Structure 1
Amino acid sequence: MTTFPIQTLNAISPVGLQRLDRSVFDVGTDIDSPRAILLRSADLHSVELPPSLYAVARAGAGTNNIPVDRLAARGIPVFNTPGANANAVKELVIAGMLLAARNLYHAADYTRDLVAVQGLSGADLEKQVEAGKKQFAGFELPGKTLGVIGLGAIGVLVANAAQSLGLKVLGYDPNVTIKAAWQLSPNVEQVSSVEELLSRSDMVTLHVPLVDGTRGMINAERIALMPQGGVVLNFARGGVVDEAAVIAALDSGHLHSYVNDFPTEAGAVHPKVIALPHLGASTGEAEDNCAVMAVDQLADYLLNGNIRNAVNFPDVVMTRTPGTTRLGIFNENKPNMIGQITAALAAAGLNVSEFTNKSRGDYAYTLVDVEGEVRDELKQEILAIEGIIRARKIEA
């Protein structure tokens, strides 16, 4: 039986790793010529990736630490785990809303300072607590409006939870999936633009990936649309918010607070910023869920060629046909690729039992089960077709 060496570049939850059959998968940090890399935050951009590599899996949603496009050009899928940490992030967003609304973060600092720095105790401490608490008076959530930008797994959970707390919720996502739409409360009002959402929201929370189209999407012009005293919550990616514009709005009094998970030098010390140390998925449950999902997807790809939740290739899943040989083929998304592949199979005298092909952007992926043995000569013929990136015979 073929053994697949998997290199781990970060500590991965043992709840996930124990799902890998060690008679089939060789797992460790010091692996030569790995077939797959399993990681969390390790940066692969400056790493020379070996020619042996078949796949990369991240136990988390974001893939900014992975050269996704470079790997796609080599026929290497990059898996992530959307939704596995959704509840953990949802809870942090709700906590962030309460921290901002009731000024809890700075109120706690004030109380700690009274004892640790000023040395107050007893009646003096009680007197100063009563005298100082007025500066931390906040507001209640019911009746306020929350705008949710991005209605994926996390955004839907946040929207539904916020509504249960008495907030009116607006949502914006031009690419919302059917699955997410079914899960979203029918009382969440979906709006047609970011501008409309911001102009009507007392608080706004972001749940979008960091791509060219979302970088700096919360900027000075859009912040100006928000009502006076608004709150911005960012538990997505630091770059989706223009922090300089947010700080300027905080200084002018237009914004009440900025709660985020991505500390910077300017933000960490600002009196109206609550900067947390990237706690989004930092729960034991989320780490376990992400590891399990990443491991299962990676194992299914290595063993069966199935692709689920790759960020650079389409989902392609096909039940294996007993008694057949399977090929997984990556190619550029251009005309007549399927025809050339099936012609090569027919010329080799192989009958196709099952065939699935899907495309995504510039690339496509094919799974095909054939009756008979796939010789190395056929594989080389397929690789010689212009536009074919990689062809893999997947042993049963």
Structure 2
Amino acid sequence: MYNVKLYNNIAQEGLNQLDNKYVVNEDIEQPDAILVRSANLHDINYNPELKAIARAGAGVNNIDIDTCTTKGIAVFNTPGANSNAVKELVFAGLLLASRDIYHGMEWVKQEANNPDLSKLVEKQKKHYAGNELMGKSLGVIGCGAIGVQVANLALRFGMEVHGYDPYMSIDAAWNLSRYVQHETNIEDIYRKCDFITLHIPMNDSTKNTINKESIAHMKDGVKIINFARGGLVNDQDMKEALDFGKVGFYVTDFPSNLLASHPKVAAIPHLGASTEESEINCAVKACQEIKDYLENGNITNSVNLPNASMPFNSPVRICIIHKNIPKMISQITNCLVDNANIDNLLNKSKKDIAYTMLDLDTEISQATLDAIDNIDGVYRVLHYQK
């Protein structure tokens, strides 16, 4: 039986992935796994049984990744599960930035009771005239699951699209249209593009990506779209750029007190992934990830451990989370040499962390498991029976 603790409401379609081997609720005190959306987990109690945390969404800023890694806890997210929802809202943002729909609608509401409204409309509409997207240049910073979809769709709008991502995955590269111009320097995005949209994670290296210095390299009147993370944009620098007209319009999914009421800002209440379809997709994916990990030791979409999976056809499987250092495999297998034959072995690494999966032909003793666990550099040993 596996205990799964909920920290947020998770779509029932996702929870349905967990069968009668699972107890799932908000009150579990010693969970094997955690399912979360936006709740802050930085100060939680990491009980000894906790093996996995799955975030039903892409961003994991609400999880202490470093602590989880040293405790041998796999952290999963669901990249791409909400990408269509965000992509669609990005294009709503592009249209809001290019056509002054927002202020035009506000004016209509103010004049709703005016008997001459239909006549006034014809005179007033010139104040909200904008520009078309066709023929304009769009810079996509970050070509992951969402950025690729935005870039490809922008081509269908007749835009000239430039993409920047020094860490683009092979899958993303395959999915990105060959008509998207690949930029190797982010300053070329700033210099060339009429619109810039952000699709990068928030971390120490990306915080304040859009600031006074980067804005200075941009075209006058550039429109900036941010449906990624609020901290990617320095709000004070953005306000100054908007006040002086360097930035023509800013659309953000992360309202701040400083910018929410600015006339050149469309602040949206974090609706990027807030669709029924997106929440279901994220929930299903998150539950499938922890189920495969708890039952088989297979890893898909972990942010702190390497992806690793293989068919589980042997009686016993052990999986070891350990430092990515020399001689670890030999030390692990030496513990097994007099106890079991290894039917299959897989070793994967992700920076300083490695994950080793071993399928064995027979059960091994707790003493053998303890011997592996006591190897210097081992964070955790997981034991599975078919």
Q: CA deviation at 1:192?
A: 1.0
Q: CA deviation at 1:108?
A: 1.2
8 A Cα contact 1:149 1:171, kept in partner: yes
8 A Cα contact 1:89 1:235, kept in partner: yes
In structure 2, the partner of 1:97 is 94
In structure 2, the partner of 1:121 is 114
Q: CA deviation at 1:132?
A: 2.6
Q: CA deviation at 1:318?
A: 1.2
Q: 1:335 aligns with which of 326, 329, 346?
A: 326
Give the whole-Å Cα distance in 2 for the aligned partners of 1:341 and 1:370.
Answer: 13
8 A Cα contact 2:3 2:24, kept in partner: yes
Query: What is the CA RMSD across the aligned residues, in angstroms?
Result: 1.0
Say whether 1:353 aligns with 2:343.
yes
In structure 1, the partner of 2:227 is 235
The percent identity for this pair of structures is 47
Give the whole-Å Cα distance in 2 for the aligned partners of 1:53 and 1:204.
Answer: 41
Q: 1:385 aligns with which of 375, 382, 385?
A: 375
Give the whole-Å Cα distance in 1 for the aligned partners of 2:70 and 2:131.
Answer: 52
Q: CA deviation at 1:122?
A: 1.9
8 A Cα contact 2:224 2:250, kept in partner: yes
Give the whole-Å Cα distance in 2 for the aligned partners of 1:242 and 1:232.
Answer: 12
Give the whole-Å Cα distance in 1 for the aligned partners of 2:15 and 2:44.
Answer: 24
For 1:266, what is the secondary structure of its paired residue?
Answer: coil
Q: 2:283 aligns with which of 264, 267, 291?
A: 291
Residue type of the partner of 1:341?
I
After superposition, the C-alpha distances for 1:2-35 in whole angstroms (9 at most, x for unaligned) are x00001111101111111112x111111112110
Q: CA deviation at 1:127?
A: 3.6
Q: 1:181 aligns with which of 160, 173, 182?
A: 173
TM-score (norm 2): 0.98
Residue type of the partner of 1:71?
C
After superposition, the C-alpha distances for 1:124-153 in whole angstroms (9 at most, x for unaligned) are x23433333222111001110000000111
Q: 1:244 aligns with which of 236, 254, 261?
A: 236
For 1:122, what is the secondary structure of its paired residue?
Answer: coil
Give the whole-Å Cα distance in 2 for the aligned partners of 1:242 and 1:179.
Answer: 31
Say whether 1:301 aligns with 2:293.
yes
Give the whole-Å Cα distance in 1 for the aligned partners of 2:383 and 2:81.
Answer: 31
220-229 or 181-190, larger mean C-alpha shift: 220-229
98-107 or 142-151, larger mean C-alpha shift: 98-107
Give the whole-Å Cα distance in 1 for the aligned partners of 2:126 and 2:217.
Answer: 29
8 A Cα contact 2:339 2:364, kept in partner: no
8 A Cα contact 1:321 1:353, kept in partner: no
Residue type of the partner of 1:344?
C
Q: 1:201 aligns with which of 183, 193, 202?
A: 193
In structure 1, the partner of 2:10 is 12
After superposition, the C-alpha distances for 1:252-299 in whole angstroms (9 at most, x for unaligned) are 011110001000001111110111000011111111110111011110
8 A Cα contact 1:321 1:354, kept in partner: no
Q: CA deviation at 1:114?
A: 2.2
For 2:111, what is the secondary structure of its paired residue?
Answer: helix
Q: CA deviation at 1:182?
A: 1.1
Q: How does 1:47-126 map to 2 (within 5 A)?
A: 47-115=44-112, 120-123=113-116, 125-126=117-118
Give the whole-Å Cα distance in 2 for the aligned partners of 1:392 and 1:78.
Answer: 15
8 A Cα contact 2:11 2:283, kept in partner: yes
Give the whole-Å Cα distance in 1 for the aligned partners of 2:353 and 2:219.
Answer: 44
Q: CA deviation at 1:391?
A: 0.6
Give the whole-Å Cα distance in 1 for the aligned partners of 2:10 and 2:88.
Answer: 22
Give the aligned length.
386
8 A Cα contact 1:198 1:226, kept in partner: yes
Q: CA deviation at 1:395?
A: 2.3
For 1:268, what is the secondary structure of its paired residue?
Answer: coil
Residue type of the partner of 1:362?
D
Say whether 1:210 aligns with 2:208.
no
Say whether 1:158 aligns with 2:150.
yes
Give the whole-Å Cα distance in 2 for the aligned partners of 1:14 and 1:372.
Answer: 38
Residue type of the partner of 1:193?
N
8 A Cα contact 1:357 1:365, kept in partner: yes
Give the whole-Å Cα distance in 2 for the aligned partners of 1:127 and 1:254.
Answer: 35
TM-score (norm 1): 0.96
Q: 2:356 aligns with which of 343, 366, 372?
A: 366
Say whether 1:226 aligns with 2:227.
no
